[in-house]
Amino acid sequence: MPELPEVEVTRLSFSEGIRGATILAARLGLPLRWPLGIQPQQLQGQTVQAVRRRGKYLLIDLSDGLLLMHLGMSGSVIFADVLALAGKHDHFDLETSLGTLRLNDPRRFGAVVFASGEDDPVAHKLLGRLGVEPLGDDFDALIFYQSLQQRKAPIKQVLLAGDVVVGVGNIYASEALFLAGIRPTTRANRLSRPRVLRLHGAIRQVLVRAVEKGGSTLRDFSNAQGESGHFQLEAMVYAREGEACRQCGTAIKSIRQGQRSTFFCPLCQKP
């Protein structure tokens, strides 16, 4: 699943190219997770003003409204002057005066949804319960500590829930917890303030590095220009079960938490 770094990398790869474009046409393929909410032809004539990100959602600001795009489990977008005819996994085309933006999603868990703005109930339903942005100024270390004090669930599960801090998905939660020296199974409310401060910094550090490396390409992720990510090549624990810890040499372990694989070093990461 594309996580926050992959979505941010995707945004950066086409946001400037499409800014100011006039929408010429829109095309829908097979149904996605949620309906567009309007007829595609109603987008014609609108201007793309900006492309933002909220959690794992791409927000395409229009002259009259907003498109919320989610990549789901297997989605990716491409933006180019000329594209081949849409294939069976291409489910949304936004043809503009500066190029065509296409969503490809083999599993169809992604979505493109129109809303009149962020105050629209449609947008609020999708964005309203998201936590703070981990790369933004609102991600305050003390507030993060206070929020975790209210949670009894394992810290990795709290990070994945997305209502305390948004977008720290499975790969980057595992990596941040390793960097902070925290066992993923440790209850969030048992973490001391100094440990939470280390985790706060680790989350920022891991996500910034992942964006710099173009995200992680585990299967077929690529940005809107078709470029793969390389963060997975320097992962410390993720998908390295049985391999030697790069820090101490102990074999990396894997457990299941909430139907997701968790990777950690039993020596470097303390309960």
**228: pLDDT confidence band, cut at 50, 70 and 90?**
confident
Express each pLDDT in 18-50 by its tens digit: 999 999 999 999 999 999 999 999 999 999 999
Model confidence, pTM:
0.92
Q: Are residues 113 and 214 in the same domain?
A: no
217 domain-assigned:
yes
Express each pLDDT in 54-86 by its tens digit: 999 999 999 999 999 999 988 999 999 988 888
Q: Are residues 97 and 207 in the same domain?
A: no
Rg (CA), the chain: 20
Ranges of beta strands (E only) in the chain are: 23-28, 48-54, 57-62, 65-70, 76-80, 90-96, 99-104, 111-115, 253-257, 260-264
How much is the average pLDDT of 212-224?
A: 80
Range of the domain at 54: 4-127
Q: Are residues 146 and 112 in the same domain?
A: no
Out of 72, 102, 127, a domain closes at 127
Residue 226: predicted pLDDT? 83
17 domain-assigned:
yes
Q: Are residues 158 and 241 in the same domain?
A: yes
270 domain-assigned:
no
Q: Are residues 223 and 149 in the same domain?
A: yes
Q: Are residues 145 and 224 in the same domain?
A: yes
Residue 84: predicted pLDDT? 85
Out of 127, 156, 176, a domain closes at 127
Q: What percent of the chain has pLDDT over 70?
A: 99
C-alpha–C-alpha distance, residues 263 and 236, integer Å: 9
Residues belonging to the active site: 2-3, 56, 260
Q: Are residues 249 and 208 in the same domain?
A: yes
Mean pLDDT score of the chain = 95
Q: Are residues 149 and 230 in the same domain?
A: yes
Q: How far is CA 178 from CA 128, 190, 222, 246, 269, in A?
A: 30, 17, 26, 11, 6
The CATH code of the domain that includes 38 is 3.20.190.10
Out of 98, 127, 156, a domain closes at 127
Residues 5, 231 contacting (CB under 8 angstroms)? yes
Q: How many domains does the chain have?
A: 2
Residues 228, 221 contacting (CB under 8 angstroms)? yes
Find the DSSP H helices in 56-154: 121-127, 141-148
Q: Are residues 68 and 148 in the same domain?
A: no
Q: What percent of the chain has pLDDT over 90?
A: 88
Residue 217: predicted pLDDT? 75
How much is the average pLDDT of 4-23?
A: 96
Instruction: Reply yes or no on whether the pLDDT at 1 is more than 80.
Output: no
Q: Is the dihedral of CA 265, 163, 110, 31 positive or negative?
A: positive
C-alpha–C-alpha distance, residues 232 and 243, integer Å: 14
Q: Are residues 89 and 155 in the same domain?
A: no
**184: pLDDT confidence band, cut at 50, 70 and 90?**
very high
Q: Are residues 115 and 148 in the same domain?
A: no
236 domain-assigned:
yes
The CATH code of the domain that includes 170 is 1.10.8.50
